Amino acid sequence: MDTNRKALIIVDVQNDFCPGGSLAVAHGDEVITPLNRLAREFLDRNEPVFKTRDWHPEKTKHFADYGGTWPVHCVQGTRGADFHPDLLEDLRETIVSKGIDERADGYSGFDGTNLARLLREEGINEVWVGGLATDYCVKHTVLDALKSGFCVKALADAMRAVNLNPNDGQHAIEEMRAAGAEIVGNEKKAAGARP
Ligand SMILES: [Zn+2]
């Protein structure tokens, strides 16, 4: 029996987080190529692939208009909430919608979802995590995966940061590592510090 069963978690590679979107992450679309390659490899090996999506109601405390931090983004059913058109689409993948609760930010793919249960049902003990953005949804998903008892590889080549403050991406990497995640790949890209 394979004692190290892995899953890939692709976090929020949606139009609104990519260039041209309402909350665009600089170079956000660069995560697509490495994530598509990994997704194909995982599916070829019969290992599960999960895609999270930010899936907000029109009115939520997450948005600046209602007391939160962010411009309106990823509202359920809008084009901005669609996955980026270049992201691999495969029926074997499982989509996990999050951020549905209007009283919560819902950064983590584990927050208010059945992701932990689905992973356990699949016998997963290790997750590889990449996507958008390093300093919010990726970080919180990584930290929750660790708290839920999974080993985590954080895919630095396949994440990019918002950097509301210029070092947020770098701090997020350090926080994920300190919590027990293995950081693989180019941390400078993942941190995306402004020049
Ligand atoms: Zn959001």
- For the chain, 195 residues long, give each residue's pLDDT as a single digit of tens: 557 899 999 999 999 999 999 999 999 999 999 999 999 999 999 999 999 999 999 999 999 999 999 999 999 999 999 999 999 999 999 999 999 999 999 999 999 999 999 999 999 999 999 999 999 999 999 999 999 999 999 999 999 999 999 999 999 999 999 999 999 999 998 998 654
Q: Which of 100, 124, 98, 132 is nearest to 11 (CA)?
A: 132
- Determine the distance separating the centroid of ligand 1 and the alpha carbon of 54, expressed in angstroms: 5
Q: How far is the CA of 133 from the centre of ligand 1 (A)?
A: 10
Q: Provide the annotated active-site residues.
A: 12, 98, 137
Whole-model pTM: value is 0.96
How remote is the CA of residue 151 from the centroid of ligand 1, in Å? 25
Whole-angstrom Cα distance, residue 21 to residue 8? Answer: 25
* CA of 1 relative to ligand 1 center, distance in Å: 39
Residue in 140, 141, 31 with CA at minimum distance from that of residue 83: 31
The closest of 115, 121, 105 to 147, measured between CA atoms, is 115
